[in-house]
Amino acid sequence: MDFRPPRLRTALMLGTAFMAGVAVAPATGLLGQALAQKAGNSQMYQFLKQFGDVVERVRADYVEPPNDRELVENAINGMLTGLDAHSNYMNAKAYRDMQIQTKGEFGGLGIEVTQDNGFIKVVSPIDDTPAFRAGLKPGDIITALDGKTVQGLSLNDAVDKMRGPPNAKIVLTIKRQGVDKPLEVSLIREIIHIQVVKSRLEAGNIGYIRLSQFTEQADPSVREAIRSLKEKSGGKLRALILDLRNNPGGLLDQAVAVSSDFIQQGEIVSTRARHPEDSNRWNAKGDDLLNGLPMVVLINNGSASASEIVAGALQDHRRAILLGTRSFGKGSVQTVIPLPGAGAMRLTTARYYTPSGRSIQGLGIEPEVPVRETAEEQGSFGGDHEADLNRTITNQGGTTPDKVEPRTDIPPIASSIPNKPPEGFPKFDPLKPSETDFQLQQGLVLAKAMADGRNASAH
């Protein structure tokens, strides 16, 4: 995608500290160009003069001599974070960390976070990490680190404090919906090696693939998982469940590639930017690795950004049936632009649209088969969707839901699938997912019915 400045690689990001894309061309002289272009604008000139006056007053009269670099970096970050929930500034260290993490390895707790209302909000814990094993949940609000409040810290500063050498302890103070008292969670830092794909063969030759993030390894790992499932089933794979729950997103090219693994032809996603020439469209590459086998996709409020691109493409192409709860609703594109001095800015540059022309910004994707994770209503302290965040961009220019043709390929059994677990259903145990994961259980019921229907029609 050719955003200004040119030759930038685009990333879809949730505004998290642990998920981002990488740009490949520096924005050299970007600020200088902007100042030169605006020099003739008297109002902008006055604003910039006022900014300079404030900087000089702070340098001259603040109670302690300030760090000039920190002054400017804080000002830049304030300008960007004031635009929307996903634009921000990364200093040199944060930018290096982002580049490392995109490759699927980093040090810390294994937690996807964003900033909201001055606190740090959990988007999702990463599988098999300290945060996951400690039971952190999407929507949890981190109010303090080692007893010190996070208010006043930037997202990058908070993330830096959560990172540290392996085996070092940190205590997170958590506010959780439905719990009256703050929770103190003690974690031991680890080197996080992200295994973005896990797969197994369920009963009846139903394949299961969990994709936890869209790093550079997402598509190669999905393709290898499909190959392995076919081999384990003796060539008799009957259907596939793709689990995108609590997947906060990642790289756009990986979202397109994973979608193309199941869609033979047609549009995957399009973007519309401020400048028409910067808009773009991505199409399938003509290769369905499953040859039309039935698919069920599991989503929830932690499925965001790149996850929503994949879910939306599979839904619009009638390639899969979605089961679970409404997704997060992040329909914007961020471009990472390197800046002189080794830092970078993450700037919202476009909205994206599903193949039918829908913008899911602030709306999310509704599954055809709604199934809750638990029997209790799951509220979230501070909200758990894009529309609940401060400074979100508007949803505009897309096809309205009433213009999308209703599906006619949903198997009859879908109407009898319960929308929540029965009373007394066991608490989720990651060691026994097939017995304790209610959404997965219903996904298996749906996938089996779809496979049986396909076999019946083949005869």
Q: CA angle 411-413-415, nearest 5°?
A: 100
Catalytic residue among 87, 124, 154, 305: 305
Catalytic residue among 175, 230, 330, 448: 330
In the residue annotation, 316 being an active-site residue is answered as yes
How far is residue 105's CA from residue 191's CA, in Å, rounded to a whole number?
8
How far is residue 304's CA from residue 302's CA, in Å, rounded to a whole number?
6
Let me know how long the chain is.
459
In the residue annotation, 124 being an active-site residue is answered as no
In the residue annotation, 199 being an active-site residue is answered as no
b/e 238-274 (16+ beta carbons within 10 angstroms → b): bbbbbbbbbbbbbbbbbbbbbbbbbbeeebbbbbbbe
How far is residue 116's CA from residue 382's CA, in Å, rounded to a whole number?
8
Pairing of strands 250-251, 267-273: unpaired
Catalytic residue among 116, 253, 261, 316: 316
How far is residue 307's CA from residue 14's CA, in Å, rounded to a whole number?
11
Backbone phi and psi for residue 308, each to the nearest 5 degrees, phi listed first: -70, -30
Residue 129 tokens read as 């990490």
b/e 289-314 (16+ beta carbons within 10 angstroms → b): ebeebbbbbbbbbbbbbbbbbbbbbb
- Catalytically active residues are 305, 316, 330
